[in-house]
Amino acid sequence: MATTKELLEEYEKKRKKIAETAPDALEKRHKGNQWTARERIEYFFDKGTFTEIGMFITHRTTAFGLDKKEIPADGIVTGFGKVNGRYVVAAAEDYLAMAGTFGEQHGKKLAYAVDFAKEKGWPFVGMNDSGGARLQEGMDTLEAYGWAFRSQILASGVIPQIAILMGPCLGGQAYHPVMQDFVIQCKDTGFMGIAGPAFVQTQLGEKISLEDLSGYKAHAVKSGCTHIVATDEKDALEKTKSLLALLPTNNTEKAPVLATKDDPERLCPELDIIIPDKSTAPYNMQKVIKAIVDDGVFFETMALHATSVITGFGRFNGRTVGIFANQPMQAAGVITIDAADKGARFIRFCDLFNIPVVALGDCPGYMIGSEQDWKGILRHGAKLLFAWADATVPVISIMLRKSYAGAHFGMLDKSIGADFVVAWPTARITIVGAETAASVIFAREIRDAKNPEEMKAQRIKEYSELYENAYVAADRSCVDEIIMPHDTRKMINRLLDILEEKNKNNKAFNRRVWRKYANINL
């Protein structure tokens, strides 16, 4: 029998072998501007706090020569530690261990890590870098995907889940990141797709590069699967840390409140001149956001996708708040199918994790036309209505300029569930714009007039003065208050103060009829 000393030495030897990386492989990795799984873990967690789980797990397959193949930690490093002093669970795929392929034990480790995070109430971060399914394990690999998927789904809405695309993530593997709350993609090294270029060419005859098919432009710009683009792995990990700092650890807590020297009553005089005199002239909503949030710091999500709307997080008097806004610089801030999806999922995430939402509205309406209609603008647009009406967190609407038609509800109004609606004097709140309304109501009169253009201008002016303003809405109690733009930050902070315990003694909320969840249009 081995002595105690020999057993301890053997243990140290095994750990070293599992964790070590061949010098040539490490050099190649660094030349490609990538780190190893363990280097990523080391950088991400506070120094000395990471505890690995499942280091000695390995595969049990003997077919196709795997009985002679060692795959350290089965190609995935899992464990927990602290990030900026708060507990986080992580799983980092190891491309240097049989290309980080997903096999039975790999999948079990991933599923266990997510389950562990859910049970502890800690955020989960996945670092994706894998060659895909380990085909040598056949059905065992296939079934393991299901275990991991189910674990992620059952943890959804319980703990924040963040995926980082640091290498390839193709095939069934790609469902893991998109099923999480946020996807952060490394610009030059992260790739995600339901199939790689070779498979696409074999099956469909389509020739396309990996970059075009699965790169950041494919998903951060076109598909909307990627929420944040990072310049490299270090930047990706730093952005993940910044995002985690804005979020609660789980759905039973609130996000941490940070001390700030930015006066909650601070005025923003620059906002008094930001709205152009011409109602169709654009302005940059980013300037409004950065003027009102603490220290001008705004963490934007999905910045490259559906750019007519803006989503992201800022702080008000140290509190994390979600912001959903129109961007008049892009298609007048109209709500398209993609914009509706982007906004609805963001609002629902905030509601799941106790984050108040402020809507900054300046929207001419939902996008019309055959293309949007046939693709389902009604179905997709309704997602925003579901999101607002279902929300239990404080929701505040600031109407800056246009609030027309369905967008009046899509950008949050009193009737769909706003706790408070505040308008600027520049707000134009009505069923449709004056020009559209006049062309319908007075169509015959304009057509038969001696001077049709003069009559049209007169009727547009009449309708606008009668309805297209904030005062009629305030008169009908659809707007709680009209404020000067410079008071916006002050007003938001005051409203958040009184909404801090929104549902504590809310009898209407407590009387809601029991249901599993809304049958939201998907």
Residue 145 burial class via C-beta count within 10 angstroms: exposed 0-12, middle 13-18, buried 19 and up = buried
Return the structure tokens found at 72. Answer: 């350290």
Contact 318, 294 (CB under 8 A): yes
> For residue 385, which of 348, 430, 426, 427 has the smallest C-alpha distance?
348
224 catalytic, yes or no? no
Residues 6+ apart with CB under 8 A from 244: 83, 84, 86, 88, 123, 125, 160, 162
Nearest by Cα to 321 from 297, 342, 305 = 297
Active site residue 79: no
Q: Are 329 and 350 in contact (CB under 8 A)?
A: no
Q: How many C-beta atoms surround the C-beta of residue 119 within 10 A?
A: 12
One-letter amino acid identity for 423?
A
Distance from C-alpha of 74 to C-alpha of 148, rounded to nearest angstrom: 15
Catalytic pick from 167, 406, 410, 433?
406
Angle between helices 434-441 and 452-467 (to 10 degrees): 120
Pick the catalytic residue from 172, 224, 314, 410.
Answer: 172
Per this entry, what is the length of the chain? 522
Helix pair 488-498, 285-292: axis angle to 10 deg: 60
Phi, psi of 309 (to 5 degrees): -130, 160
- Dist. CA 212–CA 185, nearest whole Å: 14
One-letter amino acid at 354 equals N
Known active-site residue 407: yes
Q: What share of the chain is helix, strand, coil (3-state, %, to 5)?
A: 45, 20, 35
CA-CA-CA-CA torsion sign (72, 73, 78, 79): negative
Active-site option among 171, 196, 314, 343? 171
C-alpha dist (Å) from residue 112 to 152, 177, 181: 10, 16, 18
- On whether the CB atoms of residues 45 and 52 are closer than 8 A, the answer is no
131: left (phi over 0), alpha (psi -120 to 50) or beta: alpha
Structure tokens at 478: 């659809």
User: Angle CA(334)–CA(339)–CA(344) in degrees, nearest 5?
Assistant: 125
Q: What is the DSSP letter of 449?
A: S
The single residue of 174, 407, 470, 474 carrying the catalytic annotation is 407
DSSP 459-479: HHHHHHHHHSSHHHHHHTTSS
Q: Could you give the residue ranges of the DSSP H alpha helices within 21-138?
A: 23-31, 37-44, 104-120
Indicate if 167 belongs to the active site: no
Q: Provide the β-strand partners of residue 398.
A: 360, 422
Residues with catalytic annotation?
171-172, 406-407
